Amino acid sequence: MDKKAVNELLLNPDDFSDADLRMLIERREYEEMLMTQADKIRREYYGKDVYIRGLIEISNHCENDCFYCGLRHSNKNIERYRLTDDAIVDCCSKGYGLGIRTFVLQSGEDEAFDDLRVCSLIKKIKTLFSGCAVTLSLGEKSYETYKKFRAAGADRYLLRHETSDQAHFLKLHPKNQSAEKRKQCLFDLKSMGFQTGAGLMTGSPHQTTDHLIKDFRFMQDLKPDMIGIGPFLPHKDTPFAKFAGGDIFLVLRTVALSRLMFPKTLIPATTAAGASHPMGLELALRAGANVIMPNLSPHATRKLYALYDTRPNAAEETTEYLDKIRQRVSAAGYSVNMDVGHVCGA
Ligand code: 5AD
């Protein structure tokens, strides 16, 4: 396709055929045009704003055994921890002092954080820190549990679908997990009024372009409010230790496509994107990302929350990190916005 035709095509993302998506996912020669158009659309909806979310990794215990993840249950080489409720509130307090207005509670699938405990945490955080949003990222739960979380005041929920193709899903997860269950959870969350985040790893083992096309079609059904995309990165104590890490440019093309096809979504410049390339953060912003999630977890536990081998900034102070983020964001032509930053139209 000549460049003029591609530029034309990029103006009508709702009409992308599978062949169009394949070309835009696979071909690097259109990457620049794709990113430029994504940046234009992002500015139309969100201006230059980049929203900040404080990430708190509340537990690295996990009952699941995902083949790619360092927190998997079978990994015996990991020191497990759980933050106390007081420690979690402390993290929020520190973040609130820095101006952060969204707290993301993330963990492995850990039954110790039962409904009662999570609901009491949500209520505590929402009461103590006025005007803040609470985002949960605690994995697959029952409809009833999600309902309770929502009633307790949680605003958003992140649950990457990982891959919408069941056969591929089974190459990434043991048989007790399924793509169908994951998708059902996402539809449940949406139906309850959670701002709902889906997402995936690009370059995960056995992933093909067909899978990615299917992921976009699934997201067209779901209409997520947030889309998290990062490259797969190997972890030495997993069955996927020997697989190569995903390439940042495929992340950029899928982020840009997400921005075009779902213009209102909040899209993070993911930690994994930042870890896989020195300019990963800036590049992701240029491709249409508009969220950054600095880590508010206590220093002692940060290195224990290792999903993959490379993690940057593990030892950095949040204050310094936030200053650095501000500088990098402005140098890239955007600006940090510390507001609660709900999804466009929410
Ligand atoms: N590389 C990149 N991303 C990973 N995740 C888990 N393990 C890895 C890895 N090895 C991502 C998954 C999960 C999110 C919390 O982190 O997509 O949903």
Ligand 1 site, residue 240, Cβ cutoff 6 A: no
| CATH, domain range 3-337 | 3.20.20.70
22-53: per-residue pLDDT in tens?
A: 999 999 999 999 999 999 999 999 999 999 99
Q: Which pLDDT tens digit goes with each residue over 319-341? A: 888 999 999 999 999 999 999 99
Tokens describing residue 125:
């955080």
Report DSSP letters for 109-146, one per residue: S-TTS-HHHHHHHHHHHHHHSTT-EEEEE-----HHHH
CA of 71 to the centre of ligand 1 (A): 10
What is the atom index within ligand 1 of the atom nearest the CA of 240? 10
For ligand 1, pick from 293, 308, 311 the residue to mutate: most ligand atoms within 8 Å of CB: 308
What residue segments make up the domains of the chain, in order of their start? 3-337
Q: Is 305 in the pocket of ligand 1 (CB under 6 A)?
A: no
Residues written for the chain: 346
Amino acid code (one letter) for 342 = H
Tell me how many degrees the CA angle 164-137-281 measures, rounded to the nearest 5. 80
Helix ranges (DSSP H) in the chain: 3-10, 18-26, 31-46, 85-97, 115-128, 143-152, 166-172, 179-191, 209-222, 248-261, 271-276, 280-286, 299-302, 318-331
**188 within 8 A of 154, measured Cβ to Cβ:** no
Given a contact cutoff of 8 angstroms between Cβ atoms, the answer to whether 126 and 153 are in contact is yes
Q: Which residues contact 235 (CB under 8 A, 6 or more apart)?
A: 68, 69, 70, 241, 306, 307, 308, 309
For ligand 1, say whether the CB of 68 is within 6 Å of any of its atoms.
yes
Q: What is the pLDDT of residues 96-108, one digit of tens each?
A: 999 999 999 999 9
Our answer on whether the CB atom of 160 is closer than 6 Å to any ligand 1 atom is yes
| Per-residue pLDDT at 311 | 64
